[in-house]
Amino acid sequence: MKRSRKRGDQARSFNSMKPHLTGPGSGDSQRGRQPAVCGMGVRSRWFGDTAQTMHRKDETANLLKALSTGLNESAAIESFLHRLPELLMRHLPLGPLVLFYRDGDGNRFSTYGRTRDVGELTNLADDSNLITCFNHRTNPLVINGRSDMYRILFNRDTDGLIDRLGINLILPIHFHGYHRGVVAARMERKCRISPTSMAHILDQCATIIVPAIEMERLELENDRNHYRLFKFDRLVLLGQMAASIAHELKTPMSTVLLELQELQDGDLNSAETMRSFGKIRTEMIRLNELIESLLSFSRFRPLQVEEVDLKALVESTLESLPCKRIPEGARIHTRFEKSLVSHADRNRLHQVLLNVLFNAFDAAGPGGEIGVRAYAECTKTKRNRRHVIAVSDNGPGIPQKHKNHVLEPFFTTKTNGTGLGLYISYGIMTSLKGDLEIQSSKKGTTVLLVLPGKSA
């Protein structure tokens, strides 16, 4: 009896340790039925998790595809960041969503979100509670009764945005160990995707969006540094050019003084007097052009960047050409592609185009042919497309020994040239994030004005 009682105790103890499964096909230990571990209830729950996982993978793939498409179609990364919250809400079961992303300077986090959802947006400082909390934290934070302290601190940073939108989930964005941003969203209670899974999806998204954002910001920083160096270079060059400027001013001034002295002596007849006046007028025009070039060279006006239709710009520039500046018998041929729109300063681009056209007229001479073409270079993505205005002539071309010097200041092969036209034009094009390229042969010269394109 004692032995059987021990066996009964062991049996009761063993049965109490078995999990109690319910649902169709599962047994009940109190009725003496063996629990069905592979019963219908467990199997259906397993299939449900599998279907949910497959659905989540499909949504992740669709989201990554949408992000890649959005990056390619966006003309600038800033416009893509404004679209990013809507893309995330479209493919993830999240309500109102706000993105805080580190700006180019690194000392603040700019805010992005749909205005109709979030209202007025507030940027965050680098030392705010919402940012510092996730500097080294990679796990998501669910805001509930247990984390009420975080809700109070985050509301203080965002002017009550957390309570206003009912945000209950914070997802950090890290890439290669660096904190890039934070996503604050409202997760619905019936959401089937766990916060950890959403954080994993966001990590996959970061591998696409963060490199593109950082690459464009590096390009912008390079543009700023280039402009600073270019400005510094011009200031240094102005000091070095003092002797050259003095020489350029002294020559015409000497001619004018000599002619005036002869006029003052009064020993000239009417024909000689008119000839002296002509020389004075020519030298004064030369002085005026030199002074205008120097002013343009040293002037630092802020860029007035706007959307410019290149076809309309070229047509208006050709219409504004002085008739006396066009060589006799010269023919101008134009060819344009449709919908060529770039971000540029209209007045400065007009100035560059005029200068290039004048050089083409001088090279082609009377009876020459000038070609003006505007087109877009074909690239794989719209964001990297370049728009080009090509001005060509059928002149003798640039001699080989001069090709490496045409963009240097005060270099000219013209009798009355100042040597600053192409140098100033090149500086304007680089300040517009473009370029000025010269292709020359014995059959003529083509100057390419290259600008970043914008899809119209």
3-state secondary structure 10-74: HHHHHHHHCCCCCCCCCCCHHHCCCCCCCCHHHHHHHHHHHHHHHHHHHHHHHHHHHHHHHHHHC
Q: Is the pLDDT of residue 169 over 80?
A: yes
Q: What is the pLDDT of residue 370?
A: 95
How far apart are the C-alpha atoms of 122 and 116, rounded to whole Å? 15
Given pLDDT bands bounded at 50, 70 and 90, which one contains residue 47?
Answer: very low
Given pLDDT bands bounded at 50, 70 and 90, which one contains residue 4?
Answer: very low
Give the mean pLDDT of 77-92.
79
Between these two residues, 453 and 36, which has the higher pLDDT value?
Answer: 453
Q: Is the pLDDT of residue 15 over 50?
A: no
Q: Is the pLDDT of residue 200 over 70?
A: yes
Q: Is the pLDDT of residue 44 over 50?
A: no
Given pLDDT bands bounded at 50, 70 and 90, which one contains residue 115?
Answer: low
Between these two residues, 36 and 412, which has the higher pLDDT value?
Answer: 412
Q: Is the pLDDT of residue 225 over 70?
A: yes
The set of residues, in sequence order, having a beta carbon less than 8 Å from that of 127 and lying 6+ positions away, is: none
Return the exposure string of 139-176: e unless at least 16 CB atoms fall within 10 Å of the residue's CB, then b.
Answer: ebbebeeeeeebbebbbebbeebbeebebbbbbbbbbe
Q: 390-436, pLDDT tens digit by residue?
A: 999 999 999 888 888 888 777 777 766 667 778 878 888 988 888 99
Give the mean pLDDT of 436-452.
92
Q: In this predicted structure, which of 2-6, 63-67, 174-178, 183-187 has the lowest mean pLDDT?
A: 2-6
Spatial CA neighbour of 418 closest among 301, 304, 252 = 252
Q: Is the pLDDT of residue 31 over 80?
A: no
Read off the tokens for 28.
Answer: 């009940």
Q: What is the pLDDT of residue 12?
A: 43
Query: What secondary structure letter does DSSP report for 368?
Result: -
Q: 180-191, pLDDT tens digit by residue?
A: 888 888 887 776
Between these two residues, 16 and 177, which has the higher pLDDT value?
Answer: 177
Angle at 429 between CA 411 and CA 309, to 5 degrees: 135
Q: Which domains does the chain have, with CATH numbers?
A: 2-37 (no CATH), 57-219 (3.30.450.40), 241-299 (1.10.287), 304-456 (3.30.565.10)
Q: Is the pLDDT of residue 305 over 80?
A: yes
Query: What secondary structure letter does DSSP report for 330?
Result: -
Q: Is the pLDDT of residue 46 over 80?
A: no
Q: Is the pLDDT of residue 314 over 90?
A: yes
Given pLDDT bands bounded at 50, 70 and 90, which one contains residue 247?
Answer: low
Q: What is the pLDDT of residue 240?
A: 57
Q: What is the largest CA-CA distance in the chain?
A: 155
Give the mean pLDDT of 26-46.
37
Between these two residues, 125 and 58, which has the higher pLDDT value?
Answer: 125
Read off the tokens for 422.
Answer: 């192409």
Given pLDDT bands bounded at 50, 70 and 90, which one contains residue 284?
Answer: confident
Given pLDDT bands bounded at 50, 70 and 90, which one contains residue 455?
Answer: very low
The set of residues, in sequence order, having a beta carbon less than 8 Å from that of 441 and lying 6+ positions away, is: 397
Q: What is the pLDDT of residue 20?
A: 38
Q: What is the pLDDT of residue 312?
A: 92
Q: What is the pLDDT of residue 243?
A: 54
Given pLDDT bands bounded at 50, 70 and 90, which one contains residue 38?
Answer: very low
Between these two residues, 422 and 38, which has the higher pLDDT value?
Answer: 422
Given pLDDT bands bounded at 50, 70 and 90, which one contains residue 234?
Answer: low
Q: What is the pLDDT of residue 33?
A: 41
Give the mean pLDDT of 259-278.
77
Q: What is the pLDDT of residue 29?
A: 38
Q: In this predicted structure, which of 6-20, 69-83, 102-116, 267-281 has the lowest mean pLDDT?
A: 6-20
